[in-house]
Amino acid sequence: MGYSMIPEIGHFALILALCVSIIQGVLPLVGAQQGRREWLVLARPATQISFVLLVISFGVLTWCFYSNDFSVLYVAEHSNAQLPTVYRIGAVWGGHEGSLLLWILLLTGWAFAVAQLSKALDEFMVARVLGVLGLVATGLLLFVLTTSNPFERLLPAAQDGRSLNPLLQDPGLVFHPPMLYMGYVGFSVAFAFAIASLLSGKLDAAWARWSRPWTTVAWIFLTLGIALGSYWAYYELGWGGWWFWDPVENASFMPWLIGTALLHSLAVTEKRGGFKNWTVLLAIIAFSMSLLGTFLVRSGVLTSVHAFATDPRRGIFILILLSLVVGSSLFLYALRAPKSTLGGTFSLMSRETLILLGNVFLVVASGSVLLGTLYPLLIDALNLGKISVGPPYFNAVFVPIMVPVLFLLAIGPWANWKSTNLKTLVQRLWVVAVIALVAAILIPQVMGEFTILTALGFLLAFWIIASGVLQIIKQFKAGKPTRSFIGMQLGHVGIAVFVIGVTMVGAYQEEKDVRMAPGDSVSVGGYQIQMVDVRPTQGPNYQATRGTFEVLRHGIAQDALYPEKRNYDSSTMPMTEAAINSGLTRDIYVSLGEPLDGGAWAVRVYYKPFVMWIWGGCLLMALGGLFAVLDKRYRLRLKK
Amino acid sequence: MKPRHKRALMIVGALATLAIAAVLILNALNSNIALYVTPSDVVAGKAPKGQAFRIGGLVKDGSLKRDELVVHFIITDLVKEIPVSYKGILPDLFKEGKGAVVQGKLDTDGQFVASEVLAKHDENYMPPEAKQALEQAQKNGAK
């Protein structure tokens, strides 16, 4: 039997993409510096070609998965013939090589989008932006081709593939990584704009107006990606937690924090021409954090609940790439950043000051997460022993740093640019403060226990919500608000909704690990959970034990829950599938532990009040971002 | 306010923020780090007293016993063994003969009371700490 040559086409397309990326990364940049028009016009076609090549390459890998071509090592290691089609497609990015290929596909996709949507932009700028993106793509393509080729052959071919980790056989796998990577990689555009402006010395409001929507779109994807990952962990890992301060989570959260700071700083640069240095620096840091995240996740340096391929060559390559990108851009920054100060005069009491303060806190928060994530690696590298830094560290540090951010967030929109009167601010905000205080005192009374931390959570959430509502009323009285304004309000209210969810779950959740036999019942949060029975059942590629539980309130049946314990045919690893009854004000969460004597089971029963608000808040934030991007002033530019 | 004063005030503000953050961070790091200790080191009395720490190693074959919701097992680096008790539901990947990491404290009879049991999310994956504990025990044994 002959082997199909299709995988070689994918491999070949990647090699061609590397060549095209080198052209894209070198000629336009040199052309722009030396004023050679015939070189800089190459940027656009090169970008388009490399995107097409990556689509071909990624399409070929997807085909290999779809057609069960186990002569490709990566396919044989991450898929098998019994896997349902949708998970075979998802399995393309289920491992190291494929997820890097996805990374690069998205990178060239972003570059392609910039090339298509920048017709109105000065061609020197376009050439530089695309050139920088070409250089980044070159580095990553070299990485994939030398250390992580997804098309490597396995000869003779395997009869069947190994398996996809059962944890990953979930719709979460299909959506979470692409969303997250879209966000990660999207910051490369803000980065490229920043580097291009440093190269040209043109750091003006027009530059900020161009990079702002790109940054916002990347931020939207990152927000959704992180939220999806968190939700996936909640229902799939079977632990009912929504955030573990796991290094892999931190790796995606750090660029989010910096990206959030960047969004706000860009607003100042666009509207007031200020903070130019700071904005450029944030754009560089945001993308560096994305690369660092890739390094942490992909190099295997971490001890974490996620499992990784461990190949030191890969780690060293990404580390070199990371230092090259960070080092050269910071060097360029030191040389070329405008010597002016923050730019655009403003008084101490002004929107600029508030945004700057918020920015500083966000950056410090991100730094504290970075420290907690890298500290165990550092200690290990210095041979001082092995340690783990757990959630208590992050809660103790991160929460206090975020309190002032939330506090400032409600004030910022009331303050005027340039200068604002403290007295007017107080006049506008005292009502808000009263509402927030009342909520902070009353809600804990209604829910049960009162603690300072719970009260603080509600205080900040209602401080933000009340402030937002008052502003919206004021704006509607004055005329139709802009989409930007609606976006800002949605984003801020989203944060408040998120804070409410976190506070409620943190303070009032009930978690019970109990022994249950059929007929037994346990009560949580005013509900009775009754075990009906536990029976074996059969899935498409797994055997399972399925429990039936009834959820009752005041003796009336509300819903039935069916948690499962699965054993996948291709794996020896058992899998817990929790069953969740979700609602606006509470989730009931039931999962099976292990069988005990006498037909009984160890069962996990959780009551999670307002847990959906955590992800609902994230959705609102993303929606806010969407409104901001759709603002008229950006649309007009696209039409040109 | 003169621009010079304004800048000075901003720098002072930024430094104060950083200082507060640094204090918070150092404080939190000091009290919230869990040290990894190998079973041999625990037996040799090298485990921190009165503070939570982590042990990495293999779950000894045949050592898993269940007493309703409390589970007992032995974690070993193939040289020394530590009895562990844990109340609650074990992770899916917890298995006899496989690697695991436990976090908790020693009680007065030398039994380790775990507050958390970690088993990694891949059947072919060994926690680096467990692997290291085995290697170290082997090295010391060969001496």
* Rg of chain A, C-alpha, whole Å: 26
| Residues 145-164 (A) with a CB less than 8 A from some CB of B | none
Cβ neighbours of B120 in A, within 8 Å: 305, 307
Write the pLDDT tens digit of every residue in A210-246.
999 999 999 999 999 999 999 988 987 757 789 989 8
Q: Encoding tokens for residue A483?
A: 């989409």
* Partner residue opposite B32 with nearest CB, options A356, A393, A515: A393
Q: How far apart are the first and last CA of chain A?
A: 56
* Partner residue opposite A388 with nearest CB, options B9, B54, B87: B54
Rounded alpha-carbon distances, angstroms, from residue B95 to B76, B91, B140: 13, 9, 26
Closest CA to B86 of B94, B78, B97: B94
Q: How far apart are CA A595 and CA A169, in angstroms?
A: 24
Q: How far apart are CA A319 and CA B121, in angstroms?
A: 26
Q: How far apart are CA A288 and CA A189, in angstroms?
A: 12
Residue A15: pLDDT band (50, 70, 90) is very high
The helix (H) or strand (E) run that includes residue A343 is none
Answer yes or no: is pLDDT of B3 > 70. no
* Rg of chain B, C-alpha, whole Å: 22
pLDDT of residue B26: 78
Residue A308: pLDDT band (50, 70, 90) is very low
Q: How far apart are CA A533 and CA A547, in angstroms?
A: 6
In degrees, rounded to 5, the angle at the alpha carbon of residue A193 between the alpha carbons of residues A192 and A195 is 65
Write the pLDDT tens digit of every residue in B38-57.
888 888 888 887 788 888 88
Span A125-148, average pLDDT: 95
Closest CA to B57 of B129, B137, B110: B129
* Partner residue opposite B89 with nearest CB, options A401, A571, A604: A604
Span A459-465, average pLDDT: 97
Q: How far apart are CA A411 and CA A422, in angstroms?
A: 11
pLDDT of residue A339: 63
Residues B112 and B61 placed together within one structural domain of the fold? yes
Answer yes or no: is pLDDT of A142 > 90. yes
Whether A387 and B17 lie within 8 Å, measured CB to CB:
no
pLDDT of residue A218: 97
- Ranges of beta strands (E only) in A273-320 are none
* Partner residue opposite B89 with nearest CB, options A356, A575, A602: A602
Answer yes or no: is pLDDT of A550 > 90. yes
Answer yes or no: is pLDDT of A525 > 60. yes
Whether B90 and A594 lie within 8 Å, measured CB to CB:
yes
Write the pLDDT tens digit of every residue in A258-277.
999 999 999 999 888 888 88
Residues B23 and B39 placed together within one structural domain of the fold? no
Block residue for tokens 């074990």 = B90
Helix, strand or coil, per DSSP, at residue A573: coil
According to DSSP, the β-strands at B65-67 and B70-76 are antiparallel
Taking residue A311's Cβ as centre, other Cβ atoms within 10 Å add up to: 15
Residues B24 and B71 placed together within one structural domain of the fold? no
Write the pLDDT tens digit of every residue in A177-186.
899 999 999 9
In degrees, rounded to 5, the angle at the alpha carbon of residue A413 between the alpha carbons of residues A407 and A416 is 120
Number of domains composing chain B: 2
Residues B6 and B72 placed together within one structural domain of the fold? no
Whether A393 and B28 lie within 8 Å, measured CB to CB:
yes
Assembly ipTM: 0.80
Q: How far apart are CA A468 and CA A243, in angstroms?
A: 27
Highest mean pLDDT of the ranges A595-609, A614-628, B40-54? A614-628
Give chain B's largest Cα–Cα span: 77
Rounded alpha-carbon distances, angstroms, from residue A473 to A88, A204, A478: 50, 34, 9
Q: Which residue of A has its CA nearest to B31?
A: A393
Residue B4 neighbours by CB under 8 Å, 6+ apart: none
Answer yes or no: is pLDDT of A148 > 70. yes
According to DSSP, the β-strands at B53-59 and B33-37 are parallel
pLDDT of residue A312: 65
Whether B6 and A348 lie within 8 Å, measured CB to CB:
yes
Q: How far apart are CA A121 and CA A129, in angstroms?
A: 11
Residue A457: pLDDT band (50, 70, 90) is very high
In chain A, what percentage of residues exceed pLDDT 90?
61
Write the pLDDT tens digit of every residue in A26-35.
999 999 999 8
Q: What is the 3-state secondary structure (H, E, C) of A467-526?
A: HHHHHHHHHHHHCCCCHHHHHHHHHHHHHHHHHHHHHHHHHHCEEEEEEECCCCEEEECC
Span B54-78, average pLDDT: 89
Answer yes or no: is pLDDT of A474 > 80. yes
pLDDT of residue A490: 96
Helix, strand or coil, per DSSP, at residue A256: helix
Q: Could you give the count of Cα atoms lying within 13 Å of A442 in the half-sphere of its Cβ?
A: 7
Residues B8 and B53 placed together within one structural domain of the fold? no
Q: Which residue of A has its CA nearest to B17?
A: A361
According to DSSP, the β-strands at A564-568 and B99-106 are unpaired
Decide if A130 contacts A114 (C-beta within 8 A). Answer: yes
Residue A42: pLDDT band (50, 70, 90) is very high
Q: Give the domain range for residue B63.
A: 35-142
Whether B89 and A375 lie within 8 Å, measured CB to CB:
no
Q: Which residue of A has its CA nearest to B35?
A: A387
Span A511-534, average pLDDT: 93
Cβ neighbours of A303 in B, within 8 Å: 127-129
Write the pLDDT tens digit of every residue in A74-130.
999 888 888 888 888 888 998 889 999 999 999 999 999 999 998 888 889 999 999
Decide if A494 contacts A624 (C-beta within 8 A). Answer: yes
Residues B51 and B118 placed together within one structural domain of the fold? yes
Answer yes or no: is pLDDT of A64 > 60. yes
Could you give the dihedral angle defined by the CA atoms of residues A170, A174, A175 and A181, in that order, rounded to the nearest 10 degrees? 120
Decide if A603 contacts A590 (C-beta within 8 A). Answer: yes
Residues B49 and B108 placed together within one structural domain of the fold? yes
Answer yes or no: is pLDDT of A639 > 60. no
Q: What is the 3-state secondary structure (H, E, C) of A51-90?
A: HHHHHHHHHHHHHHHHCCCCCEHHHHHHCCCCCCHHHHHH
> Touching check for A368 and chain B: CB below 8 Å?
yes
Whether B29 and A393 lie within 8 Å, measured CB to CB:
yes
Between A127 and B15, residue with greater pLDDT: A127
Write the CATH number for B107. Answer: 2.40.50.140
Nearest Cα of chain B lies from the Cα of A14 at a distance, in angstroms, of 30
Residue A449: pLDDT band (50, 70, 90) is confident
Query: Residues of B at the A interface (Cβ-Cβ below 8 Å)?
Result: 1, 3, 6-7, 9-10, 13-14, 17-18, 21, 24-25, 27-29, 31-36, 54, 66, 68-69, 87-90, 92-93, 103, 118, 120-123, 125, 127-129, 132
Q: Which residues pair with A548 in a beta bridge?
A: A533
Residues B74 and B104 placed together within one structural domain of the fold? yes
pLDDT of residue A239: 73
